Amino acid sequence: MKRIALAVALSCAAFSSAVATDQTCKSQADTKKLAGAALTSFTKKCESDAQTACDKQAADKKLSGAAKDSFTKKCVKDATGA
């Protein structure tokens, strides 16, 4: 159990630094000055893409159960800027 927690913590730290160099969904929308329906559409697609990417990363790391849920939740939050 300790190994899983350590693996999740290290992978989150590594992903957080990778996300810091990329723009979040929110910052991209601000840069593009989106509003109204365009903002809503962009945000939904960006969140969907982030969810897919985070699920793939969790699968690549062979995470499951609570570790996968925790990793994916933090990953999506970091990617979307929520």
Three-class SS state of 45? helix
Tens digits of pLDDT across the chain (82 residues): 556 654 555 555 555 444 444 688 999 999 999 999 999 999 999 999 999 999 999 999 999 999 999 999 999 999 988 7
Report the predicted TM-score, pTM, of the whole model to 2 decimal places: 0.66
- The CB density around residue 67, as the number of other CB atoms within 10 Å, is 18
Q: Of 59, 81, 50, whose CA–CA distance to 11 is shortest?
A: 59
Burial of 25 (0-12, 13-18, 19+ CB in 10 A): buried
What pLDDT score was predicted for residue 18? 45
Answer whether 71's CB lies under 8 Å from 8's CB: yes
Q: What is the pLDDT of residue 5?
A: 54
